Structure 1
Amino acid sequence: MKRFILKYLLVSFSVYLILPACVKDMEIDVPETSREVVVTCLFNPQDKWELTLSETKNIQENEDIYIEDANVEIIAETGEIIALDYTGEYGVYKSGSYPEMGKSYTLNVNIPGYNEITAKSMVPDFVEVTVPDFEIKWVKYLYPNNLMDYDVFPLQVNFGETVQDARFLFRSYYFDPNEGYKRFMLTMESLEKLKKAGLPEEAYREIAKLVDQWLVNQWTFDHILYDFVEDFDLKNRLSHLLSQELEQKTVSTREYEAFGKSVCFGNDYWLNNVSYDVMTTMGEAENVTHAKLLYANANLKYSMEHNYSLDEEFWLEAIQASKDYIDYYRTYILQVSQRINPYSEPVMVHSNIKNATGIFAGYNRQMIYLFTY
């Protein structure tokens, strides 16, 4: 009996080892589908009008396909026509004017070979957000979507009035004054030096999109090296050369991109975080006067426990959004989160574009300074 069991186990183990060798690659024909125009325009009163036009691509394509020959107009409810001109790169169209709060806008895009593309949205009226005095009391919070513990402290946001139709997003940020005012630029001449030093062609094409522009973070360049350069020694050599070649200057303004993201959770009945996203809490409600949040930053807690000053500023972002804006972000987060789940159904990202896909939506942004530590 023992011999039989042993023989059975040996045979089973042999079959287990042989089975992977029976796996064969299968060729799948990807059906041709017609391309759609993709419109991206999220607008607010603090930034000038900017819109990006591109085309959808199939699963085998890596390069983005931008549209350069469109006629783009935005018509205000007052009849004013705002023309957006092509900037000459990456499908970006811009205007020198700003959106206005409480005003409805209609988008018209005409591209040769396509039907007229239209959409409509507005920037919600301004609701001033304030944070009353608070004391930092750290507590543990178990986030149910990923079952991880976070050190957080409660924070309340007051609206100053009863908001009848509230649609808000909240995010926590930090700002490092020692790094946040620095800007970096790589010239085309320096990029050619990187190419001669062994920079792969694919990485060269990605960095070429960024040359001769002042950028907020050096990591924008380093990130491309880490993504496209596999050889460890070559990566280190290119990173060292890149640091030498980057031009640097200091500015006096806090640009939005210079803020670092932290963690923020909803702590109110009408607020929630979508899927695995711990950075953004959002919600919709009627007749609310405040929002309760949980603010988190691991470095801050560690520094406070060890009485070590970071010399960093801590901020809260409050976004008052149009319905299209909040529906877009909720479904976008869901789609990105579901990519890691092979058993999930596809999530369609919300679009309000007629005769195309994408988003045209307005919002208001407020940055609220909390404290420096």
Structure 2
Amino acid sequence: MNRNYILLLLFLVVSCTKDLELSYEKSDQTMVVNCLFSENEAWKVTLTRVKSYRDQSDTYIDDASVLIVPENNDTIHLVYFKDGIYGSDEKPISGVQYRLVVRDSKGNTITAKSSIPLEPIISDIKPSTQRTTYFSNANLSDYTVMPLSFRISANDSANFVRFCFFAFNTKWGYTRYMVTKETISELRKLDFPEAYLGELEKLIGVSMSSYVYFTVIREISEKYELPSNGLGIAVSKLKEKKVTTRYEDSFQSGYLFSNSIGFNNVSKDIWNVLGEYSAEKELTLFVTDVPVLNKGSQTNFKEEYWLEVTGMSEDYYKYEKSYIKQVNNLDNPFASVIEVYSNLTNGVGIFAGYNSQMIHYHDY
């Protein structure tokens, strides 16, 4: 009796089994456009698809038609390079209104408009060597800073700007470093792993600042789990080269603050000051004293202080503010979701013009 009951129960269990088809969220196929343009760079537009939580890498779009349509001029047809990048040898021109038109193979069309704004006019720059303490509301911390005052003039009814600070060390800034064949040969004699040397061989002839090279080689050393002294040995085998040009990667960024109305740091960011103005204004920014502190009493080199001034279109300004807020909220599980601003029709991303100038305002 018990045996028959068990057989009946097994039959019912097996006969009631049903395969379930679980539905998964399909990847969003919305196009993502990234194009921030200025007079200094040729046209470059990057196209990808929106990533889902299951996507491990970007989905590049390589079969789209990408057009730049200037007002009162011929259309510029961008060609595909690689990794979703479309480009042209032509450069944007300040003051010209441009329209972006992107069509993918599925018949979707994205459009946007923007132009490069007029360059902000900076005058009456007055740096100070007097240190003061600045309390940042961004992260509730005190910083030792030095005031920097100047005037900024308006070119339009509404003007948008971003300030960043950089220092250039004349002792190390004019020294470049390279991996050479001799570098590889010497490290091979010291029994460095061949896979490690293979990574370094990709960098042969590439000129970088000491800071950038140290960072790159450290990452490779950690990847192959080299002993603690391996990094120092590898860096010591780089070839030095003296130059007379200030390369971009030789500038060191520093924190920057403002207490002027309409000009401030966004969220917890301490590296950028953004602002909007419609008339000439006198501003006071506060820059880091760290380069001067590190220099101390040494007199065989200078710490050059530079202010980067970026004139932004309104779309770029809104995009930048929302992007900084989103990045600074990533580590806060209780923060509200920040949607990054987009000025595209039928897509997401940014198409916006800007101009940039570097002002060398003082040597310490």
Which bracket does the TM-score occupy, shorter chain normalised?
0.7 to 0.9
The answer to whether the 8 Å contact 1:142/1:149 transfers is yes
Corresponding residue for 1:318? 309
Matched, 1:122 2:115: yes
Corresponding residue for 2:354? 363
Q: Aligned partner of 1:197: which letter?
A: E
Corresponding residue for 2:194? 197
Corresponding residue for 2:281? 289
Corresponding residue for 1:343? 334
Distance 2:93 2:307 in 1: 23
Q: Aligned partner of 1:38: which letter?
A: V
The answer to whether the 8 Å contact 1:52/1:93 transfers is yes
The answer to whether the 8 Å contact 2:34/2:47 transfers is yes
The answer to whether the 8 Å contact 1:225/1:239 transfers is no
User: Post-superposition shift, 1:80?
Assistant: 2.5
Q: Aligned partner of 2:133: which letter?
A: K
Q: Which runs of 5+ in 2 are unaligned?
A: 1-21
The answer to whether the 8 Å contact 2:154/2:278 transfers is no
Structure 1 pair 180/134, CA: closer, same or farther in 2 (3 Å)?
A: closer
Matched, 1:66 2:64: no
Distance 1:145 1:354 in 2: 33
Distance 2:207 2:290 in 1: 30
User: Post-superposition shift, 1:274?
Assistant: 0.8
Distance 2:219 2:23 in 1: 31
1:237-263 Cα shifts (integer Å, max 9, x gaps): 47744764x676555433434321111
Structure 1 pair 288/162, CA: closer, same or farther in 2 (3 Å)?
A: farther
Moved more, 47-56 or 348-357: 47-56
1:34-79 Cα shifts (integer Å, max 9, x gaps): 2322211111112222222222322233333322333222111122
Length-normalised TM-score, structure 1? 0.78
Corresponding residue for 2:18? none
Q: Which runs of 5+ in 1 are unaligned?
A: 1-27
The answer to whether the 8 Å contact 1:266/1:282 transfers is no
Q: 1:139 aligns with which of 132, 140, 143?
A: 132
Distance 2:314 2:236 in 1: 44
The answer to whether the 8 Å contact 1:182/1:250 transfers is yes
User: Post-superposition shift, 1:117?
Assistant: 1.8
> Secondary structure of 2:219's match?
helix
Q: Aligned partner of 2:267: which letter?
A: S
Corresponding residue for 1:274? 266
1:288-311 Cα shifts (integer Å, max 9, x gaps): 3332211113231354xx423452
Taking only aligned residues, the RMSD between alpha carbons, in angstroms, comes to 3.4
Q: 1:298 aligns with which of 290, 293, 296?
A: 290
The answer to whether the 8 Å contact 2:221/2:230 transfers is no
Matched, 1:221 2:211: no
Matched, 1:354 2:348: no
Distance 1:322 1:113 in 2: 31
Moved more, 171-180 or 219-228: 219-228
Structure 1 pair 356/220, CA: closer, same or farther in 2 (3 Å)?
A: farther
Distance 2:179 2:32 in 1: 30
> Secondary structure of 1:108's match?
strand
